[in-house]
């Protein structure tokens, strides 16, 4: 019996009507550091720590607007102790605007990272898995944020794609929370802004590493 291992398929010649497909081969990972307690944290994972910081260093709001005009149930006057049609108050609305503003910057940088990974394959003619992550001999930690936040030590740009998909998922989850009636606590909005700030830094690191490695930009 001849055993042939092809790309994505395992074929056994002496067996009929049998097809064994391999979706992904998971190699044993290099033991480079102990895995931390919160790889790829979700919105709620670091919420308690965010609240600890936010209660110690309380946000100061100087609202540029005391109205909410973000949905078709408004405009809603939030002056004084008034609440909007969805129940939101002025503090929560201001925290909501902060979260939206952070999301705008995060999506901009993450969109650039996605654009880079998408176009690299077309421009170079190589798959992401064929482009090694190499920033030069003087760089001790190649992707410190990626390693710290996701637990992934990237070997190729394909590993960065996995980290980027995580960032994009977190952006979607946070934007769900700013929709009408989904959240009513200014502390929770600020916690989500913290979370997006972390995603923003991660997205920028992914974009930088991708373009340096793919286009042979100056290295360390």
Residue 37 exposed, middle or buried by CB count within 10 Å (0-12, 13-18, 19+): exposed
Question: In this predicted model, what pLDDT tens digit does every residue of 21-74 receive, in sequence order?
Answer: 666 655 555 555 778 889 999 999 999 999 999 999 999 887 678 999 998 898
Confidence category of residue 143, pLDDT binned at 50, 70, 90: very high
Alpha helices in 125-156, H assignment, sequence order = 144-150
- Its pTM stands at 0.83
Neighbours of 172 (CB within 10 A): 10
Q: What percent of the chain has pLDDT over 90?
A: 71
pLDDT for position 1: 47
Measured between alpha carbons, how far is 152 from 45 in angstroms, rounded to an integer? 18
pLDDT for position 219: 86
Q: What percent of the chain has pLDDT over 70?
A: 85
What domains are there in the chain, each with its CATH number?
38-215 (1.20.1270)
pLDDT for position 65: 87
pLDDT for position 64: 74
pLDDT for position 11: 56
pLDDT top residue among 166 and 62: 166
Average pLDDT estimate for 202-213: 96
Question: What's phi and psi for 96, nearest 5 deg?
Answer: -65, -45
Radius of gyration, CA atoms only, the chain: 23
Question: In this predicted model, what pLDDT tens digit does every residue of 72-109 receive, in sequence order?
Answer: 898 999 998 899 999 999 999 999 999 999 999 999 99
pLDDT for position 9: 55
pLDDT for position 40: 96
């Amino acid at each position: 019996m001849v055993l042939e291992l092809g790309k994505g398929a395992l074929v056994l010649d002496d067996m009929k009507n049998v097809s064994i497909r391999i979706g992904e081969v998971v190699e044993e990972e290099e033991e480079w550091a102990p895995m931390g307690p919160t790889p790829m944290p979700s919105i709620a994972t670091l919420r308690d720590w965010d609240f600890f910081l936010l209660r110690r260093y309380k946000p100061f709001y100087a609202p540029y607007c005391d109205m909410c005009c973000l949905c078709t149930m408004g405009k809603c006057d939030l002056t004084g102790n008034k609440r909007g049609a969805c129940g939101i108050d002025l503090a929560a609305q201001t925290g909501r605007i902060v979260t939206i503003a952070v999301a705008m910057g995060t999506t901009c940088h993450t969109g650039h990272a996605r654009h880079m990974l998408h176009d690299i394959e077309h421009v170079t003619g190589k798959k992401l898995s064929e482009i090694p992550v190499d920033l030069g001999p003087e760089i001790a930690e190649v992707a410190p944020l990626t390693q710290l936040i996701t637990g992934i030590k990237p070997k190729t740009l394909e590993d960065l794609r996995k980290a980027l998909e995580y960032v994009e998922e977190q952006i979607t989850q946070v934007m769900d929370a700013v929709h009408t009636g989904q959240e009513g606590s200014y502390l929770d909005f600020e916690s989500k802004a913290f979370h997006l700030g972390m995603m923003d830094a991660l997205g920028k690191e992914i974009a930088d590493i991708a373009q340096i490695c793919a286009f042979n930009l100056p290295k360390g």
